[in-house]
Structure 1
Amino acid sequence: MSDRIASEKLRSKIMSADEAAQFVNHGDKVGMSGFTGAGYPKALPTAIANRAKEAHSAGNDYAIDLFTGASTAPDCDGVLAEADAIRWRMPYASDPIMRNKINSGSMGYSDIHLSHSGQQVEEGFFGQLNVAVIEVTRITEEGYIIPSSSVGNNVEWLNAAEKVILEVNSWQSADLEGMHDIWSVPALPNRIAVPINKPGDRIGKTYIEFDTDKVVAVVETNTADRNAPFKPVDDISKKIAGNFLDFLESEVAAGRLSYDGYIMQSGVGNVPNAVMAGLLESKFENIQAYTEVIQDGMVDLIDAGKMTVASATSFSLSPEYAEKMNNEAKRYRESIILRPQQISNHPEVIRRVGLIATNGLIEADIYGNVNSTNVSGSRVMNGIGGSGDFTRNGYISSFITPSEAKGGAISAIVPFASHIDHTEHDVMVVISEYGYADLRGLAPRERVAKMIALAHPDYRPLLEEYYERATSGDNKYMQTPHDLATAFDFHINLAKTGSMKG
């Protein structure tokens, strides 16, 4: 790998992952690269997990506090959680083993907006960051590092950490070099405007500069990212995508959107990919993305000439598309830009470029409050991620969801959201397979019929019955009427019977 590690100084630090893990001590605060299963360290997590298992078997304590960009993978979050090697975690987690540890109370978790997370660590909100473990594609002669398939919080971790461990992954395409745009937000109180006016603006460098004296170890790997296949697009996803496109058409008809130059942000998943498949056949041209992740659907739009530029902080690709990206990164870097997540999710830039934000949800209530993180208010699924960054600051904020889950046992539309991540003040449009509810300019009670119309027909009578109860009887306050005695009956029924229907 001499061509991947060109710095003589850092080449002298090459060692095994087990040797490098000796620099990570019990109680350390560790910042790792990684965002939606891309660009995370492949070897150190297992080596750290093995240290934890050895310590625990000897009756000793060993656990770290873990900071990342977003979710990682089973061979990072999963192995560390399984070994009880994590005391506390932020800002976003999707691994099922880790989720169970969090929900059982055996692991602490802070759900933090992605745009906030890097700054909060740099400013010392959580104490000193002891170690940064960063995957890179290449180390230059000068000691600059070329990020791999995500940037995430790498810049902030490198700045804040006392020690740095680099993993150089030869699986990552060398042609990713040139795709990145590294620009750092100046430290307080010397902030300036982020000089991005359009999604395609490049404002920084293609590499990360940092203090190479911090490097204590360099580890060589050749391991693929966690690239999970997307499920085949089903009829419900197609209907949701069609309703989303109908909403876009209504914006064109109203003169608020053009067929030329639509700027999008999209959450991750099968429904967003279905939306992008619909855009392939739409009238929209010269589509741009200012978002968090590059998904299969965006690659298809680029290939079809429908999308001119996609700016993000990471990939989230299927195995087939990851191979395609590795083989053709030199071509794709002409239209894809990977930035630090403090820039990709920056509220100032999101507001400036005028994007339409589209994210998923767990449930929404009849007044338009959205829960995107916690089932029945207590059981965390993943975290808020960057949805808050884009929802609050986008030109238009929208949420897409199937009307029900678990074979009809769970309704996505409920009387009162059991946890609220996005308030009625930030939610403009909600879309299910039954249509879209445009909530803009409506008083709370005017939203109710529109929201109930998005619910599965089996749940509509129950929602109407609840609203009738909330607006009658002794309730004399009519701005946002609730019957508090029965507001969570859907969730109580689910806990008691396994179905919100009771």
Structure 2
Amino acid sequence: MSERIAHPGLRAKVMSAHDAAAKIAPGDQIGFSGFTGAGYPKEVPTALAERIKEAHQQGREFRVNVLTGASTAPELDGVLAETGGVNWRMPYQSDPRLRDKINDGTTFYSDIHLSHSGMMTSQGFFGPVDAAVVEAVKINADGSIVPSSSVGNSVNYLDAAEKIIIEVNEWQSLGLEGMHDIWRVGLPPHRQPIPITTPGQRIGSASINIDVDKVVAVVRTNAPDRNSPFKSIDQTSKDIAGHLLEFARHEITQGRLTNELRPLQSGVGNIANAVLAGLLESEFENLTSYTEVIQDGMVDLLDSGKMALASATSFALSPEAAERMNNDAERYAKKLILRPQEVSNHPEVIRRLGVIATNGMIEADIYGNVNSTHIMGSRMMNGLGGSGDFTRNAYISIFVSPSIAKNGDISAIVPMVSHHDHTEHDVQVIITEQGLADLRGLAPRQRARVIIDKCAHPSFRPMLTEYLERAEALGVGMHTPHDLAQAHSWHRRFLDTGSMRP
């Protein structure tokens, strides 16, 4: 561990997770490292959860506010949520226990654009950060921290925190050193342009400099990230990927793309990996990525030589891919860059680089508005994540989804979305396994016909067409015709009967 903790003063602060967690008080606001199950602290959150449980058993109030980069893992979000001790959480989550607490009203949740979350913390909009708890590969002799498998909002939390707890995780490869590019955006009016003009450009340092006097504990750990295996790619995902690749070929024939495409961004999941797998077998070469997370498919593209480099803020790997990364991290560090999410998701850079953004959705309506967060308008699923950062600022903004869910009882294309995350002004392309709707340059009523014809499942197309024609016949407004008495009737019918079908 002397190699991992090179600063003598911080080596003297090594203690157990239990003792470190004792330095967190009821009511504290805590900034944790971690992004999509990578780079989160492994032991202090569990020790904190035990303290919260003990306090509750004794009839004492103990609740904390939890800030992260994005979703984390059961060892953080899950154990803390289970205690009922999370008062407020931001900016993104995916843990089922935390989701239940949000939806039953136990935990308040702010679903915030990922590029805004660290900035808003630094600006003091959420109040003081009492503690930052972050995972590191190592602590350098000067006290600076080498992050592990994510950067996320760690820089913002370390800068803002009154006290710092560092978990040094021996499971994380020392070869990760050199992969990170730490650059502080700063606050107005002193901000300068982010000097990134190509996805592979490095502009900062390989470690996070901190105020070592704020460090109150260092905890030694040896535990893996939450590396969940991806599902096998099903035919629906392959069909969606096929439509997207055909669209890219069409854009090349129109002179709007080249065979290198533009830097790619994609959300996490089966469809995203299907697209990446399709690219592996395609004619496209010398690809790049400017995105949030490095997934298995991107590692495969890098290994094949199809992708030259990738920039992100975190990994989201299967156990097999994580092992490959750990075993050969030093080599991957030449092709991968991990940045703070305030940089990886920054609109300035996304717009400059001309990113092609592909994200998932829960539903879209016939005019191109997208709901990517709420089930039936009220129940939170996961959150907005970085989809808003990329969608509004991308060169091409794409949303993908299977056309039906729940064995055909739910249509992903509806008359009016039950919750708006992305408006028709930002959504350019919608793809389901049925086909692709290119919405660029179309007025709302033109969009409606294309979305119904190209993206809706055949079993729902007649109902959607009937709704549109009825709304047009009302004559209330022909720009975006709606029958407001029936606009959410599909959702109400599902809640009443378990199916959107009549």
1:140 aligns with 2:143: no
2: CA distance, partners of 1:85 / 1:175: 37
Asked if the contact 1:313–1:338 (Cα under 8 Å) also holds between the matched residues in 2, the reply is: yes
What secondary structure sits across from 2:22 in the alignment? helix
1: CA distance, partners of 2:366 / 2:124: 40
Identity across matched positions, percent: 62
Asked if the contact 2:248–2:261 (Cα under 8 Å) also holds between the matched residues in 1, the reply is: no
What is the one-letter code of the residue matched to 2:415? P
1:349 aligns with 2:346: no
Residue 260 (structure 1) shift: 2.4
2: CA distance, partners of 1:41 / 1:490: 43
What is the one-letter code of the residue matched to 2:462? P
127-136 vs 404-413, which deviates more?
A: 404-413
1: CA distance, partners of 2:46 / 2:263: 40
1:189 aligns with 2:163: no
Residue in structure 2 matched with residue 211 of structure 1 by the alignment? 211
Residue in structure 1 matched with residue 248 of structure 2 by the alignment? 248
Asked if the contact 1:262–1:286 (Cα under 8 Å) also holds between the matched residues in 2, the reply is: no
Residue 122 (structure 1) shift: 0.9
- Which structure 2 residues correspond to residues 222-237 of structure 1 after superposition, within 5 A? 222-237=222-237
1:279 aligns with 2:271: no
2: CA distance, partners of 1:476 / 1:208: 58
Residue in structure 2 matched with residue 420 of structure 1 by the alignment? 420
2: CA distance, partners of 1:476 / 1:381: 34
Asked if the contact 1:262–1:284 (Cα under 8 Å) also holds between the matched residues in 2, the reply is: no
Q: Deviations over 1:320-339 (max 9, x none)?
A: 00001000101111100000
- Which structure 2 residues correspond to residues 147-186 of structure 1 after superposition, within 5 A? 147-186=147-186
1:340 aligns with 2:340: yes
Q: Deviations over 1:171-214 (max 9, x none)?
A: 00000000000010122210110000010000000000010100
Residue 406 (structure 1) shift: 1.2
What secondary structure sits across from 2:216 in the alignment? strand
Residue in structure 1 matched with residue 14 of structure 2 by the alignment? 14
Residue in structure 2 matched with residue 462 of structure 1 by the alignment? 463
Aligned pairs, number: 501
Residue in structure 1 matched with residue 476 of structure 2 by the alignment? 476
1:491 aligns with 2:498: no
1: CA distance, partners of 2:39 / 2:457: 39
What is the one-letter code of the residue matched to 1:461? P
- Residues 1:261 and 1:458: Cα distance change in structure 2 (over 3 Å): closer
What is the one-letter code of the residue matched to 1:309? L
What is the one-letter code of the residue matched to 2:2? S
List gaps (5 residues or longer) in structure 1: none
1: CA distance, partners of 2:435 / 2:264: 20
Asked if the contact 2:262–2:354 (Cα under 8 Å) also holds between the matched residues in 1, the reply is: no
- Which structure 2 residues correspond to residues 46-445 of structure 1 after superposition, within 5 A? 46-445=46-445
What is the one-letter code of the residue matched to 2:108? G
2: CA distance, partners of 1:263 / 1:476: 43
What is the one-letter code of the residue matched to 1:314? S
Residue 261 (structure 1) shift: 4.8
Residue 450 (structure 1) shift: 1.2
Asked if the contact 1:48–1:85 (Cα under 8 Å) also holds between the matched residues in 2, the reply is: no
Residue 469 (structure 1) shift: 1.0
What secondary structure sits across from 1:76 in the alignment? helix
What is the one-letter code of the residue matched to 1:147? P
Q: Deviations over 1:117-160 (max 9, x none)?
A: 00101111011010000000000111111000000000000000
Poorly superposed stretches of 4+, deviation over 6 Å: none
Residue 100 (structure 1) shift: 0.5
Residue 219 (structure 1) shift: 0.4
Asked if the contact 1:470–1:483 (Cα under 8 Å) also holds between the matched residues in 2, the reply is: yes
Backbone CA RMSD of aligned residues: 0.7
Residue 15 (structure 1) shift: 0.4
What is the one-letter code of the residue matched to 2:369? N
2: CA distance, partners of 1:268 / 1:73: 15
1: CA distance, partners of 2:383 / 2:185: 24
What secondary structure sits across from 2:289 in the alignment? strand
What is the one-letter code of the residue matched to 1:35? F
Residue 476 (structure 1) shift: 2.9
Asked if the contact 2:42–2:223 (Cα under 8 Å) also holds between the matched residues in 1, the reply is: yes
TM-score normalised according to structure 2 size: 0.99
2: CA distance, partners of 1:276 / 1:468: 39
Residue 352 (structure 1) shift: 0.2
450-459 vs 371-380, which deviates more?
A: 450-459
Q: Deviations over 1:425-469 (max 9, x none)?
A: 000000010111000000000001111121111111111111111
What is the one-letter code of the residue matched to 2:456? A
What secondary structure sits across from 2:30 in the alignment? strand
Residue 281 (structure 1) shift: 1.4
2: CA distance, partners of 1:93 / 1:283: 36
TM-score normalised according to structure 1 size: 0.99
What secondary structure sits across from 2:37 in the alignment? coil
1: CA distance, partners of 2:210 / 2:17: 22
Q: Deviations over 1:249-275 (max 9, x none)?
A: 111011000002531111000100000
Residue 14 (structure 1) shift: 0.4
Asked if the contact 1:286–1:307 (Cα under 8 Å) also holds between the matched residues in 2, the reply is: yes
2: CA distance, partners of 1:410 / 1:20: 47
2: CA distance, partners of 1:422 / 1:260: 28
What is the one-letter code of the residue matched to 1:78? G
Residue 2 (structure 1) shift: 1.6
Q: Deviations over 1:208-230 (max 9, x none)?
A: 00101000000010000000100
261-270 vs 150-159, which deviates more?
A: 261-270
182-191 vs 331-340, which deviates more?
A: 182-191
Residue 410 (structure 1) shift: 1.0
2: CA distance, partners of 1:114 / 1:262: 22
- Residues 1:261 and 1:470: Cα distance change in structure 2 (over 3 Å): closer
2: CA distance, partners of 1:493 / 1:228: 35
Residue 493 (structure 1) shift: 1.0
Residue in structure 1 matched with residue 32 of structure 2 by the alignment? 32
